[in-house]
């Protein structure tokens, strides 16, 4: 089974439609190597990590594997910086970007990042100095292109306007939370959630900005193995514990049974078809789960099925 590919402005490599999330990677975890090999063998190219993941363990583990196996040139390396502090106070400044990017390059044992994402935003900071800083790193060859995780459409538009006025490169990709299940997160955490936001989704469809969706599978919420009656389930899935989401899950399992495919594939197929350029970030730790996600690329849903899954219509298609 071969993975489909897309393109992101500023990159000369194809970007696999599924992005492998590497946040859980640790040096002593024996699952890392086989999973990376399986992902690349399936046609995967895009690997996602961040400065903040595991106190640097994720970046170091990934960097060492790429160097040891000589696979750096085969992948689109994505990392993120400028995450909020532990008390969730913003840290999106040129100084933080410069420091964290330098350390990320060292950890990843590479001279450049293909796609560098700002992990959070600080709407109180003017976009100009941030763009100037990122463009300087592009010119220096330390990053190929850049984007924003959890940035709002309004801020992306501000950045695009500034870039046009000053002859700069602007954001080439976005990474918000997006899944069939609608997350209910506290606003202070700095998350931007596209799910159940028709205006934001319409903006993405119009701009056709590549969208790298994190928590794309709602942490297994749509798995048929999940037991909604188990008390620990509601604690584990607190952000998704809402009647509308349980109804989405019920419909997803129903449609999956009728189509003869796993429910997790139906939920992922729904996401892949929401905008022209969606790249779900998946986080499997086992090869069968990876294979299940890749197979979702071959599941096509009708407009009626997509609307029914998202509670936009009441009658089953």
- Which residue is associated with the tokens 């297994």? 220
Query: Quick check: 256 and 226 in contact, CB under 8 A?
Result: no
Query: Quick check: 130 and 118 in contact, CB under 8 A?
Result: yes
The conformational region for residue 171 under phi > 0 = left, psi -120 to 50 = alpha, else beta, is beta
- Which residue is associated with the tokens 């892949």? 272
CA separation, residue 90 to residues 69, 86, 94, 135, 139 (Å): 37, 10, 12, 21, 26
What is the Rg, in whole angstroms, of the alpha carbon atoms belonging to the chain? 19
What is residue 229's three-state secondary structure? coil
- What is the distance of C-alpha 224 from the center of its chain? 23
Sequential DSSP letters for 217-228:
TGGGTT-TT--T
The closest of 195, 184, 189 to 278, measured between CA atoms, is 195
> Pairing mode, if any, of strands 278-282 and 211-213?
parallel
Marked catalytic residue, from 53, 116, 162, 237: 53
Contacts of 312 (CB under 8 A, 6+ apart): none
Q: Is 237 annotated as catalytic?
A: no
Task: For CA atoms 184, 189, 190, 191, give the dihedral sign.
Answer: negative
Residues annotated as catalytic (active site), given as ranges: 53
């Amino acid at each position: 089974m071969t993975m489909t590919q897309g393109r992101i402005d500023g990159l000369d490599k194809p970007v696999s439609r599924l992005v492998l999330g590497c946040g859980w990677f640790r040096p002593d975890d024996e699952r890392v190597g086989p999973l990376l090999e399986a992902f690349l063998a399936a046609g995967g190219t895009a690997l996602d990590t961040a400065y903040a993941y595991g106190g640097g363990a994720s970046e170091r583990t990934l960097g060492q594997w790429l160097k040891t196996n000589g696979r750096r040139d085969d992948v689109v390396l994505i990392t993120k910086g400028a995450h909020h502090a532990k008390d969730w106070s913003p840290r999106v400044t040129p100084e933080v970007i410069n420091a964290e990017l330098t350390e990320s390059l060292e950890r990843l044992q590479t001279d450049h990042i293909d796609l560098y994402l700002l992990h959070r935003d600080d709407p109180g900071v003017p976009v100009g100095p941030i763009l100037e800083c990122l463009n300087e790193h592009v010119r220096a060859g330390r990053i190929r292109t850049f984007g924003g995780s959890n940035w709002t459409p309004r801020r992306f538009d501000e950045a695009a306007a500034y870039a046009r006025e000053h002859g700069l490169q602007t954001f080439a990709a976005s990474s918000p939370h997006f899944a069939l299940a609608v997350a209910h997160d506290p606003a202070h955490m700095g998350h931007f959630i596209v799910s159940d936001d028709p205006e934001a989704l319409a903006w993405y469809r119009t701009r056709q900005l590549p969208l790298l969706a994190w928590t794309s599978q709602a942490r297994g919420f749509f798995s048929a193995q999940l037991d909604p009656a188990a008390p620990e389930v509601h604690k584990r899935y607190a952000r998704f514990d809402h009647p509308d989401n349980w109804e989405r899950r019920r419909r997803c399992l129903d449609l999956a049974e009728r189509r003869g495919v796993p429910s997790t594939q139906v939920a992922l197929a729904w996401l892949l078809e929401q905008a022209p350029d969606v790249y779900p970030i998946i986080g499997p730790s086992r090869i069968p789960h990876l294979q299940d996600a890749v197979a979702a690329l071959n599941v096509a849903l009708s407009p009626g099925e997509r609307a029914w899954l998202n509670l936009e219509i009441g009658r089953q298609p």
